[in-house]
């Protein structure tokens, strides 16, 4: 066992509930929660702010190297993300930042740099980290690995409901098209594409309630702990 517990690594396509489910599980078991996508988004946000050409790999890497990302304890399970002393959260989810993020996430040097940071954050355990390459690349030795899937249609419906709940306009067809396009980009990427590792537990949440997904992961967590203790 690591110092603070095990590592729970969760991968899966965008909008599959990795964050919302992961945070609830983290809260219940007293673990920290890290969304690795936020780190890619933070670099993209700073590149856009500094008007750096996001097609220029060297420049993007320099931005990452000279503006370290840090995390600060927060009242919740998810530490605050800071880049150059600026706390970032909601602004990371603007559509233009998402598009820039998807571009820079293809860059191998940047990925390697962020993967090192992610490993440092998680090495003592007691953490749930989600992303696209956490089970396959960041923590191939994670004690519990999960691939959280859902059909593109179910993910689009959830996203529409989320936006409407916030009083925002949402067009199902447009959102579905965007989700399908992102899935393709993530899965066809040359470096560390999204894929299910053989030793991941596959959960298809298309027809499952959020509580049921949470309970299933809690069960897998208990099983993993008892195996380790044996
Ligand atoms: O999970 P998210 O939507 O916040 O991810 C934002 C982008 O970063 C998305 O294009 C996928 C990419 N990403 C990645 O390539 N590797 C990760 N470990 C996490 C996210």
Counting atoms of ligand 1 from 1, which one is nearest the CA of 185? 10
pLDDT digits (tens, 9 = 90+) for 175-196: 999 899 888 888 899 999 999 9
Candidate of 12, 40, 140 to mutate for ligand 1, largest count of ligand atoms within 8 Å of Cβ: 40
Ranking 9-18, 129-138, 177-186 by mean pLDDT, the lowest is 177-186
Q: Within the chain, what is the greatest distance between any pair of CA atoms? A: 54
What is the C-alpha to C-alpha distance for residues 39 and 68, in angstroms, rounded to an integer?
Answer: 10
Ligand 1, atom 1: nearest CA belongs to which residue?
37
Average pLDDT over residues 214-218: 98
Band of pLDDT at residue 129, cut at 50, 70 and 90: very high
Distance CA 132, CA 16 (A): 11
Tell me what pLDDT residue 139 has. Answer: 98
pLDDT tens digits along 98-110: 889 989 999 999 9
- Mean pLDDT for the chain overall: 95
At 48 the pLDDT is 97
The verdict on the CB of residue 221 being under 6 Å from ligand 1 is no
195 C-alpha to ligand 1 centroid (Å)? 13
CATH topology of domain 7-221: Rossmann fold (3.40.50)
Measured in angstroms, how far is the CA atom of residue 38 from the centroid of ligand 1?
7
Q: What percent of the chain has pLDDT over 90?
A: 83
User: With 0-12 CB in 10 A as exposed, 13-18 as middle and 19+ as buried, what is 180?
Assistant: middle
Task: Judge contact between 27 and 77, C-beta under 8 A.
Answer: yes
CA 35 to centroid of ligand 1, rounded, Å: 9
Q: Is 133 in the pocket of ligand 1 (CB under 6 A)?
A: yes
Q: Are strands 86-88 and 32-35 parallel, antiparallel or unpaired?
A: unpaired
pLDDT tens track for 139-180 = 999 999 999 999 999 999 998 998 888 888 889 999 999 899
């Amino acid at each position: 066992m690591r110092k603070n517990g095990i590592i729970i690594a969760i991968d899966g396509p965008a909008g599959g509930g990795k964050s919302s489910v992961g945070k609830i599980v983290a809260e219940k078991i007293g673990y920290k929660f890290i969304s690795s996508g936020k780190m890619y988004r933070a670099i993209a946000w700073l590149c856009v702010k500094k008007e750096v050409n996001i097609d220029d790999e060297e420049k993007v890497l320099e931005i990452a190297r000279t503006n370290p990302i840090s995390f600060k304890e927060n009242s919740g399970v998810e530490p605050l993300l800071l880049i150059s002393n600026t706390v970032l959260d909601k602004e990371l989810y603007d559509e233009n930042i998402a598009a820039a993020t998807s571009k820079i996430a293809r860059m191998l040097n940047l990925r390697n740099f962020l993967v090192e940071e992610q490993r440092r954050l998680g090495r003592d355990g007691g953490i749930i980290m989600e992303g696209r390459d956490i089970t396959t690349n960041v923590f191939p030795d994670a004690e519990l690995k999960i691939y959280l899937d859902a059909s593109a249609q179910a993910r689009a419906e959830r996203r529409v409901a989320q936006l409407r709940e916030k009083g925002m306009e949402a067009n199902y067809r447009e959102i579905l098209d965007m989700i399908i396009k992102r899935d393709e980009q993530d899965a066809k990427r040359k470096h560390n594409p999204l894929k299910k590792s053989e030793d991941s537990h596959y959960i298809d949440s298309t027809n499952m309630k959020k509580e049921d997904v949470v309970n299933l992961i809690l069960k897998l967590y208990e099983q993993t702990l008892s195996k380790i203790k044996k």
